[in-house]
């Protein structure tokens, strides 16, 4: 592949949680301004992700973030919602990429050259950068949701089906942002 191509890396955060939006990010890194320390967002501390997120936004040629709501996840399913968020993130870039590299084994339906790279968030710097932006944005959404519904502890478990979250679901029922199509939530309703 031509190294002079404008390549966008794309990744998502929030496919597994029981609550909230699925978030995708697209990033075109600037070869003149490399960002040190890029890695799969799951391998970084929250503090490191926050710092890298700020640096990525400052130094990238272009970046964008898109979210698809829990309600839409319920209506079209998590895979389709993920693909939609990825497509929206790519289409929102201020610079059109010449090629798109997506973390995983599926590609969103976009009118560009696109390839899926399994474990791309660990192999491709632009995908790592996208994984960090998506994770930081999703975590911020969970903190805001926690302010609205503190009884669930979203600030701690970020919407995953932890013991604490399941106990809160049993005690309080689902909030409007819970994904009602996800089995643990569906079972309670």
The full set of domain ranges for the chain reads 7-141
> DSSP states of 103-141 as a string?
ESS-----SSEEEEETTHHHH-HHHHHHHHHHHHHHHHH
Q: Could you give the count of Cα atoms lying within 13 Å of 40 in the half-sphere of its Cβ?
A: 10
Angle at 22 between CA 18 and CA 26, to 5 degrees: 155
pTM confidence score? 0.96
Along the chain (189 residues), what's the average pLDDT of each consecutive run of 10 residues? 81 97 98 94 95 98 98 98 98 97 97 96 97 98 98 96 95 96 90
103-to-77, 83, 110, 120, 124 alpha-carbon distances in Å: 19, 11, 15, 5, 9
Report the pLDDT value the prediction gives residue 94, as an integer from 0 to 100.
97
Tens of pLDDT, residue by residue over 95-110, are 999 999 999 999 999 9
Rounded to 10 deg, the angle between the 46-59 and 125-148 helix axes is 120
CATH, domain range 7-141: 3.30.420.10
């Amino acid at each position: 592949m031509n190294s002079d191509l404008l390549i966008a890396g794309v990744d998502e955060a929030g496919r597994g949680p029981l609550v909230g939006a699925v978030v995708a990010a697209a990033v075109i890194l600037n070869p003149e301004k490399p960002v040190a320390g890029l890695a799969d967002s799951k391998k970084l501390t929250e503090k490191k992700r926050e710092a890298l997120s700020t640096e990525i936004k400052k130094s990238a040629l272009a970046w964008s973030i898109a979210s698809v709501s829990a309600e839409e996840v319920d209506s079209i399913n998590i895979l389709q919602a993920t693909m939609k968020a990825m497509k929206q993130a790519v289409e929102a870039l201020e610079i059109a990429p010449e090629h798109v590299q997506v973390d995983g084994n599926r590609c969103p339906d976009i009118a560009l050259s696109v390839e899926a790279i399994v474990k791309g968030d660990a192999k491709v710097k632009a995908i790592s950068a996208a994984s960090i932006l998506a994770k930081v944005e999703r975590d911020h959404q969970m903190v805001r949701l926690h302010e609205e519904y503190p009884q669930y502890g979203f600030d701690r478990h970020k919407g995953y089906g932890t013991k604490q979250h399941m106990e809160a679901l049993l005690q309080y029922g689902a909030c409007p942002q819970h994904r009602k199509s996800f089995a643990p939530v569906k079972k309670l309703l």
